Structure 1
Amino acid sequence: MNMRIKPAVLLLLTGLLPALPALAADTEALYQKHCAVCHGSERLGAMGPALLPENLGRLRKGEAGKVIADGRPATQMPAFASQLSAAEIEALQAYIYAPPAVSPRWDLAAIEASRIEHADVRKLPHKPSFAADPMNLFIVVESGDHHVSILDGDKLEPIHRFASRFALHGGPKFSPDGRFVYFASRDGWVTKYDIWNLTPVAEVRAGINTRNAAVSSDGKYVAIANYLPHSLVILDSDLKPVRILPVADKDGKKTSRVSAVYDAAPRKSFVAALKDVKEVWEISYDPKQPDIPVGMIHDFQYKEGAFIPGFLNPQRTSVDDYLDDFFFTQDYNDLMGASREAGRGQVINLDARRQVAELRLPGMPHLGSGITWAWQGRTVMATPNLNEGVVSVIDTATWENVRSIPTLGPGFFMRSHENSRYAWTDSMMSREHRDTLQVIDKEKLEVVAQLRPMPGKTLAHVEFTRDGRYVLASLWERKAAGGALIVYDAQTLQEVKRIPMDKPVGKYNLHNKITRSEGTSH
């Protein structure tokens, strides 16, 4: 994949902000000499990632200094230990963690100028270039060396592997026909990739710090949730900007980061949670809605000849507490969101646009990884917990907690399949038990097996094949340390094979995602 950026984009990156607060003139000079060519003169990113506090959240300051000194494997980041003193490296580390004087902007012009077109879809074959079932493929995100593998879910063998943008964030999203996959990186780069032809199609930078992306059920739009700037960006399927929605409360006084955005397919809308405002937004793309002229981002002047449904005025629902993530019921009429206050959650009805129930759950449930299944004639939802060793099982009709299933420790992911009697969860947030998967009997509501293939190695994020016959789990390690996908028989729970991978942080089956399987998060 071509990672070069147009000169026009580099020019945009260098003029968007006033001067940074003067930490030290010599430190800024060091940055401009050694770092700006790859990371942008205002730290907004270019060939390399943005170097702003929000973008460095997962990198501790001490680790950042090591990266400056020693470089980063599998990237173009060189080592500077031979060019810079320890004091200079320490000064640069402090410099990139210091906030800029003014919040960075990334406007419509910057988005449009950043777009890169790799291929003309109209000239590509409209059929898969391989023999595998195109709906039983897995997209495997390998963060160890920033690559993506496409895996045949029948033969359980890789078909293709390609370079990705740095630090993909959130799961990839698919077009309804399964031909295209969209990736969002933490630095705001959105990539459209043609799975059938095994080639990138287009890329655009939709923000500076991005949370995730969503694709509309009709395949026409892509929504991008941003931390920086405080915006929700709507792109068309070719990654051309349609509209930027500045995110603020109803009075326009307080702006907000966007925690997450998802497609609510039955409702023909995007639903977004806000990080800093107690609201949930619903943005319709239903073509039956009255046509609304597209306005420019600030003055709302009409853009001649362009009309789209719904994107002008999001429907707002006030909530009792901030929502960082949420879970949809299968009909998408209700969403369940975890409150920041431990032990509480909210159920929001999107038709009534209000809270209809309060959830009393232990610890901090990770509702975004919740799954559902039928149990004793009713639909239940199960969620892992980020703070406690428990899976909570909730009746989606009464919103009561019908069972708390003890696990070895706090977990992050949970998966099942309509054809499986089992649900799988990890304990990856536990230092002692991050190497063990637990298998829950969905009828008995109890753990019936524990799988620990490599003691001390993180084991997490499972996904089923299209038919539910096999389960793929990630050994969340670099390839040299044993990183791999472990394939289990979903009935016998026996290991079938291992497929070496470089820190496979996530794998996503096209059929399960596109059909919104009850056993996978949406």
Structure 2
Amino acid sequence: MLKRGLLFAFLLSLIVILTACSSETTAPSDKASEPAKEQAQPTEQPVNKPSEPVAGEQAKGVVQRTDIEKLYVDSCGGCHGQTRLGALGPNLLPERLFSGMKEEDIFKVIKEGRPGTPMPAFNTVSKDRSDDATIRELIEYLKTPVALEAQTWSLEDAKASLEVINDEKTLPAQPTAWDPNEIEIGDLMVAMERETRKYAVMDGKNHKLLGKIDGSYRTHTIQFGPADTPEGRYMYGIGRDGWLFKVDMYSFKTVRKVRVGLDSRGTAVSADGEYIAISNYLPSSVMILDKYLNPLKYLPTYGIDPDGQIVGVNGSQSRAAAILDTVIDGKQMFVVALKEAGRVWGIDVSKEGAEKGFPIVVDVPRVGRILHDGFLDDSGRYFMIASQGDNTKPSLLDPSKPDNGLMGIVDMKEGKLVSQLPAGIKPHPGPGAVIHTKKNGVLYATPAIGENLVTFWKQTKNGFEVYKQVRLGKEGENGGSLFIRAYNGIEGKGEAQNYVWVDIAFAPNWNKVFVIDKESLEVVKEIDTAAIAGTDPQKTRSVHPEYTQDGKFVYVALWEGNAVLVFKPNGDFVTKIDGPVTPTGIFSYGARAAEPGI
């Protein structure tokens, strides 16, 4: 048991949710999460007014929450668990929290956050309700007993929620939302509008906003159908409320929607386009569907965690985090990270696997604590997964040190963990960076949420080893990052670029983006996005750099700045695209089609 002084310090450092686009950043919603039913049509001048959420969450199996409970789940549950039992952050059981801290100390930490740590001030995660009275209400809620019963959403519930909006048979044979004489589908750039329940679609060659598409509450991740299949014209987008949308990118029309969970995160599409998988936080599970969004399989996520505890049963959780698709020896597989269990599963989605009910054919334990984002190497064999650690426990690498995080490398062919690498405090690769260099061979990279550090590693005869770590400014000068991207060239589309882009997503200085030369591994440009956009640096969080299909441009989202900035790969500014509202993640159809898993 922690002594009171240590507990006090620990809770100070982790009392409020860690925010992430891709990750865990949230804001409150007083309304429930049923998505809007009207389809947004393409327009040359999109309207910036957010759509109103639909009130009332009456679906079977959904426990009704008070407004403050909803705020907690949205703004705190990502780190502390939806039922306050702890996850990346500590549990918030009242007997522990209030015995270790005074109420005024708790109030101050929630309101102000802690500079130099991933924990932000409350008004950065709860924009609509961040006043002192709301914080007091939240503290009162934290005093209440924790309900241990799990909220459920079954396969039958999911099947009953399926709605066909525009049948595939009614869709146009050729693009109508954009001119195929000017661009191709691979040139589309899609930005998630975090607070408006919409996706903003941009022309990656001419840098124009083409239109907007309705989505769901807190649009979180998207995937495109495989480019070489008939499903390549579709986009699949999941909201944090569990509503999955299938969208036709020829017409920008929503085709189907289905609710696959109550709190969802990741999306994967099989290599042949026949199956979609969604990773859920609540209930902790993976849902597998066919290409028509018919739910086929519900897999609860469970296992023995790195400390020998059973998670996923009897009220405990092992949320499903990163989920990707790969092909191993010709066999299609979904790769999923079990967050609290610290395990990696491989789910067989080959023809034979589907006939057998999608069995788990790979189960790798002790990959790390609190697994989150991940990416694959070029072959799709090695899964690079961020373990964000638990600094109350000893490191899996060095038991004499606290566990602040690492990158686990899992061989999905052999079904085993091959390396664990130190990668800064709470690494967060997002889609990650696979970097082809002349000098250093193939490198892999991740930034970190908890410090301004980028870690590069490579495969050697001795396994995977850290190659170099690069500071983004002086130590502690800037906040941590969420996303890193590189461009290795796409045959027939574009040549490889020499630069790796990394954002700064947390205070201080979240208006900065860094450009690293991939050969020298030195920072060659520090970009002040607020100065370029002419906005307040405190309101110009710039995130998620993304290369266009041809590699000639890099798009950067201005979260609070309601715009997207366009640069050349070397960091020279090109133009500003106005119209996207609270954009966060940006997804390049063509660039992602060329990378395994994403």
Q: Same fold (TM over 0.5)?
A: yes
The secondary structure found in structure 1 opposite 2:566 is strand
| 1:342-370, Cα deviation, whole Å (9 max, x unpaired) | 25332221222222223133333223442
CA contact (8 A) 2:175 2:251 kept: yes
Residues 1:334 and 2:382 are matched in the alignment: yes
Query: What are the residue-to-residue correspondences of 1:79-478 with 2, within 5 Å?
Result: 90=137, 94=141, 99-100=146-147, 102-129=149-176, 130-131=178-179, 132-169=183-220, 171-177=221-227, 178-249=232-303, 254-255=311-312, 256-265=318-327, 267-287=331-351, 289=352, 292-294=355-357, 311-322=358-369, 323-339=371-387, 340=389, 341-342=403-404, 344-375=406-437, 376=439, 378-397=441-460, 398-408=463-473, 409=478, 410-418=480-488, 419-429=496-506, 431-454=507-530, 455-456=537-538, 457-477=540-560
Gaps of 5+ in 2: 1-33, 39-52, 81-106, 112-121, 313-317, 390-402, 489-495, 531-536
CA distance in 2, matches of 1:198, 1:36: 22
CA distance in 1, matches of 2:299, 2:459: 32
CA distance in 2, matches of 1:220, 1:50: 38
How far does residue 100 in structure 1 lie from its aligned partner after superposition? 4.1
How far does residue 328 in structure 1 lie from its aligned partner after superposition? 1.7
Q: For residues 142 and 291 of structure 1, do their structure 2 counterparts lie closer, same or farther at Cα, with a shift above 3 Å needed?
A: closer
Letter in structure 1 aligned against 2:214: A
The secondary structure found in structure 1 opposite 2:529 is coil
- Counterpart of 2:58 in structure 1 is 40
Letter in structure 2 aligned against 1:438: F
CA distance in 2, matches of 1:138, 1:242: 30
| 1:199-230, Cα deviation, whole Å (9 max, x unpaired) | 10111110111121111111111111111112
Which has the larger displacement, 110-119 or 138-147? Answer: 138-147
Q: For residues 290 and 373 of structure 1, do their structure 2 counterparts lie closer, same or farther at Cα, with a shift above 3 Å needed?
A: closer
How far does residue 52 in structure 1 lie from its aligned partner after superposition? 8.1
Q: For residues 123 and 501 of structure 1, do their structure 2 counterparts lie closer, same or farther at Cα, with a shift above 3 Å needed?
A: closer
- Counterpart of 2:36 in structure 1 is 3
- Counterpart of 1:501 in structure 2 is 580
CA contact (8 A) 1:394 1:402 kept: yes
Q: For residues 49 and 461 of structure 1, do their structure 2 counterparts lie closer, same or farther at Cα, with a shift above 3 Å needed?
A: farther
| 1:231-273, Cα deviation, whole Å (9 max, x unpaired) | 2110111111111112222899641221221112455110011
The secondary structure found in structure 2 opposite 1:51 is helix
Letter in structure 2 aligned against 1:108: L
Which has the larger displacement, 206-215 or 351-360? Answer: 351-360
The secondary structure found in structure 2 opposite 1:400 is strand
Q: Percent of aligned pairs with the same residue?
A: 25
Letter in structure 2 aligned against 1:449: K
CA contact (8 A) 1:50 1:187 kept: no
CA contact (8 A) 2:235 2:249 kept: yes
Q: What is the aligned length? A: 449
Letter in structure 2 aligned against 1:40: Q
Give the CA RMSD over aligned residues: 3.5
CA contact (8 A) 2:440 2:519 kept: no
CA contact (8 A) 2:68 2:141 kept: no
CA contact (8 A) 2:167 2:255 kept: yes
- Counterpart of 2:76 in structure 1 is 57
CA contact (8 A) 1:36 1:43 kept: no
| 1:439-484, Cα deviation, whole Å (9 max, x unpaired) | 111111100111113133212211111111111111111xxxx421
How far does residue 123 in structure 1 lie from its aligned partner after superposition? 2.0
CA distance in 2, matches of 1:175, 1:216: 8
CA contact (8 A) 1:487 1:498 kept: yes
- Counterpart of 2:566 in structure 1 is 487
CA distance in 2, matches of 1:362, 1:2: 38
CA distance in 1, matches of 2:201, 2:245: 15
Using structure 2 for the length normalisation, give the TM-score: 0.68
Which structure has more relative contact order (CA 8 Å, sep 6+)? It is 2
CA distance in 2, matches of 1:72, 1:385: 24
Which has the larger displacement, 354-363 or 133-142? Answer: 354-363
CA contact (8 A) 1:176 1:514 kept: yes
- Counterpart of 1:298 in structure 2 is none
